[in-house]
Every structure is written in C-alpha cells, then in structure tokens.
C-alpha cells in the first residue's frame, strides 16, 4: 500500500516580528535590554518570526488554536471532508494543558467524530514521529487517510516575568539562549492511500530516525534547574519553588549543541550506506536548521564525506518564518510545495535533527503529478 501527502496547510499567528521588536512582545527582563540578544540573532540568522502573545504578554491564540487553523487549511485544500478523516496524529513540545493529550483537545476543536488519535511528545522530531505513526497506519491499510498536525507555542515560556521569577535573578546563557531562537506556528499534512488526481502528490518512500540518547546527555529540556541532578519540577514542595529554582525554564546546554551536526550527518551517511539515499538522485533537500550557524557546518561535513547535495538544491524558510520547533518541517513543506514548480519523479529529502537528546529523523518523498 502506497502512502501520499495530498494536501498541506500552515498557520503563523500575528504579524511578522522583526529583530528590533522582539523585546516589545516578550518584554524586557527587569526593564533592561538583553546583552545576548544581538549575538544570538546574528548566529541564527532569523530575521522574522511570529508570536501568539501580544505586547502585554497575554495569550491571543492557544496552541490548539494554531493547530486547528493549520489543520483546517490543510483539509480545505483537500478532497476529504473533515468528518471523513479516520486518524488524527499530532505533535507538540507542550500542549495548552498537561493532560489530556494534544490530539484529544485538537479533535474536539476540529469536531471530528469517532476517529483514532495519537499524540507524539518530544521536541523538533516529534512531528516526524507523529507522521510515521500515520504513515505506518495507512500503509498497513488500517486507515485510508490520516491528518497529521504539528504545533508549537514557545513564546509563553519567554515572557519577561518568567525570568524575573528566578531566585537571585540567576539568568544564565543556557536559560536565555532559546528566547531568541524559538517562535510560534503550526503545520498540517493530509495522507491518503491514493494520489490526488490532476495535482501534485508526494509519495512517502520511507521515514526513518535514529536516537542517540544512550550516548549523549540531555541538551534541550524543561524540568530541572541548571544545577539539579535528581529533583525534577514535580519534586519541589510547590510549583512556585520549582519556578524560583529555574526548573520550569526551557534550557539549552550549548556545550553539547555542536554534536547535532555530526549526529545528523552520520545518520545521512548511514542511509546512503544502506542504499536508502542516492545523492545524485536527490532534487531537493528540506532540512530543519535550528540556526543558520549549523548550515555551514553541515555542508562542510558532507563535503568532507563526499556526500554533498549541491547547495542550490537546499531549501529553508527559517530566516523569514522563524524556528517553530516540531512544526518547522511541516510549515516549510507547505510553503515549498506552494511556491515551487515540482516535476514528476523529483526526489525530496527531508531532515529533522533534534538536540533534545539527539534524535534525528529523515524522510524521502517522490513527486507524482
């Protein structure tokens, strides 16, 4: 049974926010401009991003709202009625509520009756896990179609008040780093077991991923303070103490971050060795770069390995749309399809390296017109 991506959709909240306006939305920490912001922005190359909070740091749209709007656009671009969808598989780093699962909340918002649901929890690669669940389900002929949605609402974590709540104002580089990296948005894909007539369908050849949690320490996380080895946010006497200790901060251990390049490239080379990827046959590469900084490093390693796909074949919208975590690839794929003339038979390689504890996911697509 073949599986096709027959429709896509995406949603980015609000107006694009330029680099000079970020602190107007997120707020000044202790009324002082950041000394790190410009350094980090220069490295990541992002010029614009979108936020689902306003300048008073109030939520304008929930994570589920973002996901719903991307899903509705995807469905409206398809030939499948909303109530005919058989499987809903979603991904997010964190939903609006701790429980129940994100797909349960999304199903209710979409008003789709009696379908199978799946929620993938993680960071950037969780969208690919949600997609693989749906792909395997359709391929096994358990469903004839599936809606896959990835959505992120990171800006709520970056309000100035969260940093001001830290005991002794102990804001370190690892706690502030992601404030200038992540933003909000959602993307959606509709899978079916037949290609759509008279338009572009993307046949999924395979989806594979490699986790390296056994070999690397945690790099990106929420749940522990910077110095805590055992106690998690749930082990404090109350949530206010956990917040004061920094256990609710989104953190990036930048000392480990460069490992994502070697891990991602080694996975690519492993797929070449297995015969899953033939470099000469790749027409387009869509890679979720979390930062421009990593793009050159990836290219350098691929050149050294003799496995470089020419740079003109690589596509990203990181600089204009921002880093939207697990939603990034779906948003990227939606824009890529809608802005490019794709030839039948063209091969599209998708890559999602994740720094959480170093999980890297890959997908090969073939265009069918």
Encode the chain (369 residues) as per-residue pLDDT tens digits.
999 999 999 999 999 999 999 999 999 999 999 999 999 999 999 999 999 999 999 999 999 999 999 999 999 999 999 999 999 999 999 999 999 999 999 999 999 999 999 999 999 999 999 999 999 999 999 999 999 999 999 999 999 999 999 987 678 889 899 999 999 999 999 999 999 988 899 999 999 999 999 999 999 999 988 877 779 999 999 999 999 999 999 999 999 999 999 999 999 999 999 999 999 999 999 999 889 989 989 999 999 999 999 999 999 999 999 999 999 999 999 999 999 999 999 999 999 999 999 999 999 999 998
Residues 262 and 162 in one domain: no
Residues 183 and 50 in one domain: yes
Residues 326 and 180 in one domain: no
Whether 211 is in a domain gets the answer yes
Residues 134 and 208 in one domain: no
- Tokens representing 152 are 């992120």
Residues 27 and 173 in one domain: yes
Residues 131 and 160 in one domain: yes
Whether 118 is in a domain gets the answer yes
Residues 274 and 329 in one domain: yes
Interval 138-177: pLDDT, tens: 999 999 999 999 999 999 999 999 999 998 767 888 989 9
Confidence (pLDDT) at 51 = 98
Residues 263 and 339 in one domain: yes
Confidence (pLDDT) at 172 = 86
Residues 69 and 31 in one domain: yes
Confidence (pLDDT) at 48 = 98
Residues 25 and 148 in one domain: yes
Whether 335 is in a domain gets the answer yes
- Tokens representing 115 are 């379908």
- Rounded to two decimals, the pTM is 0.96
Long-range Cβ contact pairs of 52-59 (< 8 A, separation 24 or more): 52/13, 52/14, 52/153, 52/155, 52/156, 52/184, 53/25, 53/26, 53/155, 53/156, 53/159, 54/25, 55/24, 55/25, 57/25, 57/26, 57/27, 57/159, 57/160, 57/161, 59/156
Whether 225 is in a domain gets the answer no
Whether 78 is in a domain gets the answer yes
Domain that holds residue 324: 202-216+254-368
Q: What's the structural domain count of the chain?
A: 2
Whether 127 is in a domain gets the answer yes
Confidence (pLDDT) at 34 = 95
Whether 228 is in a domain gets the answer no
Residues 144 and 210 in one domain: no
Confidence (pLDDT) at 171 = 83
Q: What CATH number has the domain bearing residue 279? A: 3.40.47.10
Residues 183 and 272 in one domain: no
Whether 241 is in a domain gets the answer no
């Amino acid at each position: 049974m073949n599986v096709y991506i027959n429709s896509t959709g995406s949603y980015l909240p609000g107006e694009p926010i330029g680099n000079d306006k970020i602190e107007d939305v997120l707020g000044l920490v202790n009324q002082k401009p950041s000394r790190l912001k410009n350094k980090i922005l220069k490295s990541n190359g992002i010029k614009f991003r979108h936020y689902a909070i306003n300048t008073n740091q109030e939520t304008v749209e929930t994570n589920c709202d973002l996901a719903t709007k991307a899903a509705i656009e995807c469905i409206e671009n398809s030939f499948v009625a909303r109530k005919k969808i058989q499987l809903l598989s979603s991904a997010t780093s964190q939903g609006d509520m701790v429980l129940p699962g994100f797909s349960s909340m999304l199903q209710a918002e979409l008003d789709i009756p009696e379908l199978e649901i799946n929620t993938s929890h993680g960071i950037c690669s969780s969208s690919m896990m949600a997609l693989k669940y749906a792909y395997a389900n359709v391929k096994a002929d358990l469903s004839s179609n599936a809606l896959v949605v990835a959505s992120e609402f990171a800006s709520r974590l970056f309000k100035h008040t969260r940093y001001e709540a830290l005991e002794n104002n102990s804001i370190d580089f690892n706690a502030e780093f992601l404030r200038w990296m992540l933003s909000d948005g959602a993307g959606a894909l509709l899978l079916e077991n037949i290609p759509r007539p008279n338009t572009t369908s993307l046949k999924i050849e395979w989806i594979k991923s490699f986790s390296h949690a056994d070999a690397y320490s945690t790099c990106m996380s929420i749940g522990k303070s910077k110095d805590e080895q055992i106690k998690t946010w749930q082990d404090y006497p109350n949530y206010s103490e956990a917040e004061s200790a920094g256990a609710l901060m989104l953190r990036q251990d930048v000392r480990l971050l460069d490992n994502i390049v070697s891990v991602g490239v080694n996975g690519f080379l492993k797929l070449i060795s297995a015969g899953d990827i033939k470099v000469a046959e790749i027409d387009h590469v869509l890679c979720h770069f979390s930062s421009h900084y990593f793009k050159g490093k990836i290219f350098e390693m691929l050149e050294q390995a003799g496995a470089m796909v020419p740079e003109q074949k690589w596509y990203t919208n990181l600089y204009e749309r921002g880093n939207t975590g697990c939603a990034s690839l779906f948003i990227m794929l939606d824009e890529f399809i809608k802005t490019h003339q794709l030839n039948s038979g063209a091969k599209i390689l998708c890559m999602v390296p994740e720094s959480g504890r170093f999980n890297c996911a890959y997908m090969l697509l073939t265009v069918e017109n």
